[in-house]
Amino acid sequence: MRLEIGNFQVQNIEFGVESSYENGTLTINKEEALAVVLRDEHITEADIILTKPGDDVRIVPVKEAIEPRFRLNAGPTFPGITGKIERVGNGKTVALKNCSVLAVGKHWGSFGDGLIDMSGEGAKYSIFSKLNNICLVADTDEEFERHQIQKKNHALRWAAHRLAEYLGSIVKDMTPDSTELFELAPITKRDEKVQGLPSVVFVMQPQSQIEESGFNDLVYGWDTNTMLPTYMHPNEVLDGAMIGGSYMCCSSKWSTYDFQNCPTIKSLYNEHGKTINFLGVIMSNLNVSLEQKERAAMFVQQIASNLGADAAIITEEGYGNSDADFIECIRLLEEAGIKTVGLTNECTGRDGLSQPLAALDVAADAIVSCGNVSTLIELPPMGTVIGELESLMRDGLSGGWAGDEKLGPSVREDGSIIMENNSMFCGDSTLGQSIKTVIEF
């Protein structure tokens, strides 16, 4: 498969009479863009607010992030979401870089929602503080879930994907600033030099632990809770086949933007043919029962072994119960003679002294830590809030609270906040974007 992504480097975003792109400036016709959003009758009100790095702005509750793109092969940019199910990863796609579409609740938050600060102390915790963000701030009539801790946020999240596709279409007939090429031949068709290099597979465990449809990550529009581990071409992951879900605690979750720009896939591509033979991706799942976990891990071992993998990198979206899937996969891969490195964050408590993962094994002797979900973060007030700050303490966000005996509420009267890292939007970036490190005492 051969995928060309034509990149347009967005330096500035503004509203104007006509949607266009010129010399690094993306101009959006707001009325036209909102018409795309309001195609869903369940969206009762919506606005688009622009913000850039360095702004005195706090955004919460953030539900999803998507890089604006458009596929030039006449198919949908996000198959199963913005159009019919159609294979992606081959052909040409255009992308608006240095920016994202953020789906933001106008009033109501959820366990899987998070916070982004565009400047100050909080900016260092999320890669999205470094982007020009197109904030879709909306409310819906989905009253059945308004007061639920877990929300599907279906109408708002799907609207954000439509908006991202619309914005990507602005540059569909233009020459990109640069082009990225991702090409990987079938495993049995590679030359002798490549075949002679150590073979590496990337195992991805997207969040899929809610048995009711609508909360989990999607693959081609299919709820990952119902899938078994399967082999995928890495181009599919980069080109819109994977959609972030609404469920996972926010610092641990993978947004659609993270799938589209997965650094580990890109790093493996960079080394392919030089130091390694990149076999591709095993897309696994995270399960509820022990039997399901063992079955999935067995399938991962089987696929990796039959691909001829010498080594594997594995990453999980989440922590706690999902650690059992993560560790069992490592154990079985190592049992098969496949040297394995894990990527995950930790849940070591606010004092950092608790066991980092819920499950451990001696085979898991090479793990990269991407942060502690429980770390306490204190942030000063910001001049502007996009969304609703009170949702952090009122609506059960995974790192916020209404009251604490010692710490008080997450949101203080002056607008300053105290929360766990759990609420930082995609802050731990276990797909390889984490900037955190470990200090050994």
At residue 2's C-alpha, the angle toward residues 90 and 97, to 5°, is: 75
In this prediction, residue 349 carries a pLDDT of 83
Name which residue leads in pLDDT, 138 or 144.
138
Residue 429 DSSP label: -
Residue 284 lies in a domain: yes
In this prediction, residue 143 carries a pLDDT of 87
In this prediction, residue 336 carries a pLDDT of 98
Residue 42 lies in a domain: yes
In this prediction, residue 135 carries a pLDDT of 98
Are the CB atoms for 6 and 93 separated by under 8 Å?
A: yes
CA dist., res. 24 & res. 250, Å (int): 31
Residue 100 lies in a domain: yes
CA dist., res. 169 & res. 78, Å (int): 13
Residue 417 structural domain: 2-423
Average pLDDT in the 114-125 region? Answer: 96
In this prediction, residue 279 carries a pLDDT of 98
pLDDT bucket at 147, cuts 50 / 70 / 90: confident
184: number of Cβ within 10 Å: 21
How many domains does one find in the chain?
Answer: 1
Q: Which of 73-77, 168-172, 315-319 is most confident?
A: 168-172
**Could you read off the pLDDT of 10-44 as tens digits, one per residue?**
999 999 999 999 999 999 999 999 999 999 999 99
**Could you read off the pLDDT of 371-415 as tens digits, one per residue?**
898 999 999 999 999 999 999 999 989 999 999 999 999 999 999
In this prediction, residue 355 carries a pLDDT of 84
**Could you read off the pLDDT of 235-248 as tens digits, one per residue?**
999 999 999 999 89
pLDDT bucket at 173, cuts 50 / 70 / 90: very high
**Average pLDDT in the chain:** 95
Residue 281 lies in a domain: yes
- Measured between alpha carbons, how far is residue 412 from residues 67, 307, 311, 416, 420 in Å? 33, 54, 49, 5, 15
In this prediction, residue 441 carries a pLDDT of 60
The secondary element (H helix, E strand) that includes residue 304 is helix 290-307
Which residue's structure tokens are 């050994």? Answer: 440
Residue 242 lies in a domain: yes
Q: What percent of the chain has pLDDT over 70?
A: 99
> DSSP secondary structure string, 280-303?
EEEE----SSHHHHHHHHHHHHHH
Q: CB within 8 A of 81, min separation 6: which ones? A: 158, 161, 218, 221, 243
Residue 431 lies in a domain: no
Residue 276 β-bridge partners: 272
In this prediction, residue 439 carries a pLDDT of 67
Average pLDDT in the 214-231 region? Answer: 95
Residue 67 lies in a domain: yes
Residue 109 lies in a domain: yes
Are the CB atoms for 334 and 296 separated by under 8 Å?
A: no
Q: Is the pLDDT of residue 440 over 90?
A: no
**Residue type for position 384:** T
In this prediction, residue 357 carries a pLDDT of 84
